Homo-oligomer: A and B are copies of this chain.
């Protein structure tokens, strides 16, 4: 008998977090860094699913290069670790986990912040009846501004209390469209968090992306296992098309629902986002590490070791990590990617 009340958390740790360079790097992406608190976002993600009456040990889907980091940050907690032999985006990654588990799956990125965990848990509870009957549920974040960096979900009719049929998915919109959606209401950010039965997901994947399902099944059939570490077959997984769960499944499946939720969510998608979340001093600086700031205001200044001393500077992002120092104006943190690629080339 499959337990219909216990949820298997599936934590996706595939991102490389290039927008938070130089602290976030391919070998140590942002989810493993204590950027928002004294614990890393990965550790905070684990802490959200600690209640054993609701959650089983998690399945973590990650790149092989991060195995040691993950095992260190699991801090003794039991988990299944599925190491992706190659990056094929979220739909195939979630398929590997769905094949490895039975029952309910809560799929979460490892690099998001959720300040109001009770609100998150309440949203999960609201979705449980529909999930049990095979619906694919996504969580729609109440927007706090006309962000153009997220996809949106328009909620349709209510199915049960707090859960709506998805009317449509909206690609990352231009600003005017984002403002219009905000004004109309009923539109939510797509936060990339999902709840469904594993078999329901695999069935939908087989309908809408059968080559992906076939590759995932082959990769898991030929997987090698070392304790709780699962190594899917590299050649079989490499044959999979690469796509997100949104494009491959959620936007195509029939029974897709959204739970609107306001829970202090952020994907920490930029240094600007980290500034907005951070605790401000009297001059509206957000400071972390060995920093002296004199007559300086509105800066985000962080160091993981080097000593930073500034005077008379305003509204800058100043990040020191390892041997790298990066400086860009606030609100221009999209420039980080270009700087990083210049450094990598």
Contact = CB atoms under 8 A, between A and B. Distances in A.
Contacts of A325: 303, 306-309, 318, 320, 325
Nearest to A324: B307
Copies of the polypeptide in the assembly:
2
A91 to B, nearest CB: 34
B327 A310 contact: yes
A305 interface: yes
Interface string A305-345: 11111111100101010011111110010011011101100
Contacts of A313: 316, 327-329
A175 interface: no
Given A325-B320, A327-B327, A339 B292 contact: yes
Contacts of A292: 339, 342-343
A291 to B, nearest CB: 10
A39 interface: no
A338 to B, nearest CB: 6
Contacts of A308: 325, 327
A294 interface: yes
Interface in A254-292: 292
Contacts of A332: 311-312
Interface in A35-91: none
A307 B343 contact: yes
Interface residues of A, number: 32
Interface of A: 22, 292, 294-295, 303, 305-313, 316, 318, 320, 323-329, 332, 335-336, 338-340, 342-343
18 contacts: A292-B339, A294-B335, A294-B338, A295-B335, A306-B306, A306-B323, A307-B323, A307-B324, A307-B325, A307-B343, A309-B324, A309-B326, A311-B328, A311-B336, A312-B332, A313-B327, A320-B325, A325-B325
Nearest to A334: B311
A307 B22 CA distance: 10
A135 B312 CA distance: 47
A311 B335 contact: yes
A311 B294 contact: no
Given A294-B335, A335-B294, A326 B342 contact: no
Contacts of A307: 323-325, 343
Contacts of A309: 22, 324-327, 339-340, 342-343
A313, A320, A326, A339: residue with the most chain B Cβ atoms closer than 10 Å: A313
B339 A294 contact: yes
A339 B324 CA distance: 21
